[in-house]
A and B are shown apart, each in its own frame.
Chain A
Amino acid sequence: MSDAITHTGDHTHGHGHDDHHGPHIKKGILPWIGRWVFTTNHKDIGTLYLWLSFLMFFVGGAMALLIRAELFKPGLQIMNPDFFNQMTTLHGLIMVFGVIMPASVGLANWLVPMMIGAPDMALPRLNNWSFWLLPFAFTILMSTLFMKGSAPNFGWTFYAPLSTSYGPPSTDFFIFSVHLMGISSIMGALNIIVTILNMRAPGMTMMKMPIFVWTWLITAFLLLAVMPVLAGAVTMVLTDRHFGTSFFNAAGGGDPLLFQHVFWFFGHPEVYILIMPAFGIISEIIPTFSRKALFGRSFMIYAIAAIAILSLIVWAHHMFTTGITLSAELFFMYATMLIAVPTGVKVFNWVSTMFQGAMTFETPMLFAVAFVILFTIGGFSGLMLSIVPADFQYQDTYFVVAHFHYVLVPGSLFALMAAVYFWLPKWTGHMYNEALGKWHFWLSVISMNVTFFPMHFLGLAGMPRRVPDYALQFADFNAIASVGAFVFGVAQLLFLANIILTIRGGKKATTKVWEGSQGLEWTVPSPAPYHTFATPPVVK
Chain B
Amino acid sequence: MIDKRKNRRLGIILFSASILMFGFGFALVPLYNVLCNALGINGKTNTTPVAEAYSPIDKSRVVTVQFIATNNENLPWDFHPSETQVKVHPGENRLITYFAKNNAGKTMTIQAVPSVTPGIAAKYLRKTECFCFTQQTLMSGKSMLMPMKFHLDRDLPKNINTVTIAYTVFNTTGQTRGKSSKAGRISK
Residues of A within 8 A of B (CB): 119, 122-123, 126, 165, 186, 190-191, 193-194, 197-199, 224-233, 236, 244, 246-247, 249-253, 255, 257-258, 261-262, 265-266, 323-325, 328
Contacts and interface: CB of A to CB of B under 8 A. Distances in A.
A231 B19 CA distance: 10
Contacts of B43: 323
B14 A190 contact: yes
A324 B120 CA distance: 10
A246 B177 contact: yes
Contact of B29 (A119, A165, A258): A258
Contact of B7 (A198, A227, A233, A255): A198
21 contacts: A119-B2, A123-B8, A123-B11, A194-B14, A197-B10, A198-B6, A198-B7, A224-B21, A226-B21, A228-B21, A231-B25, A232-B24, A233-B25, A244-B177, A251-B111, A251-B170, A252-B177, A252-B178, A258-B29, A261-B32, A262-B25
Nearest to A166: B73
Interface SS, B side: helix
Nearest to A187: B15
Contacts, number: 114
Nearest to A227: B18
Given A253-B178, A265-B28, A225 B170 contact: no
B30 to A, nearest CB: 11
Given A229-B21, A229-B22, A258-B29, A324 B8 contact: no
B168 interface: yes
A122 B28 contact: no
Nearest to B41: A325
Contact of A228 (B3, B24, B41, B170): B24
Contact of B18 (A190, A323, A324): A190
Nearest to A261: B32
Contacts of A236: 25-26, 29
Interface in B1-46: 2-3, 6-8, 10-11, 14-15, 17-26, 28-29, 32-33, 39, 41-44
Nearest to B110: A251
Nearest to A119: B2
Given A233-B25, A236-B26, A224 B17 contact: yes
B47 interface: yes
Given A198-B7, A252-B111, A324-B41, 10 more contacts: A122-B10, A226-B21, A228-B20, A228-B25, A232-B23, A251-B171, A255-B33, A258-B28, A265-B25, A324-B42
B72 to A, nearest CB: 7
B172 interface: yes
B120 A247 contact: no
B147 interface: no
Contacts of B10: 122, 193-194, 197-198
Contacts of A261: 28, 32
Contact of B120 (A194, A225, A227, A325): A325
A257 B42 CA distance: 9
B14 A224 contact: yes
Contacts of A198: 3, 6-7, 10
A264 B81 CA distance: 37
Nearest to B112: A251
Contacts of B21: 224-229
B18 A186 contact: yes
Given A191-B11, A194-B11, A229 B24 contact: yes
Contacts of B2: 119, 122, 199
Nearest to B47: A253
Interface string B111-136: 10100010110000000000000000
B25 A232 contact: yes
A323 B10 CA distance: 43
Contacts of B17: 224
Contacts of B26: 232, 236
B175 interface: yes
B22 A252 contact: no
A122 B11 CA distance: 9
Contact of B172 (A227, A232, A252): A252
A410 B178 CA distance: 51
Nearest to A248: B29
- Which residue, B14, B15, B17, B168, has most C-beta atoms of chain A within 10 A? B14
A251 B42 contact: no
B106 to A, nearest CB: 18
A228 B7 contact: no
Contacts of A266: 25
Contacts of B20: 228
Contact of A123 (B7, B73, B113): B7
A224 B26 CA distance: 16
A123 B47 CA distance: 51
Contacts of B11: 122-123, 126, 190-191, 194
A225 to B, nearest CB: 6
A262 to B, nearest CB: 5
A227 B23 CA distance: 12
A153 to B, nearest CB: 18
Interface in B138-188: 168, 170-172, 175, 177-178
A360 B20 CA distance: 48
Interface in B37-59: 39, 41-44, 47
Contacts of A191: 11
Contacts of A123: 7-8, 11
Kindly list the 8 A-B residue pairs having the minimum CB-CB distance in the complex, ordered from nearest: A232-B25, A251-B170, A228-B22, A228-B21, A229-B25, A122-B7, A190-B14, A250-B113
Nearest to A224: B18
A244 B32 contact: no
Nearest to A250: B113
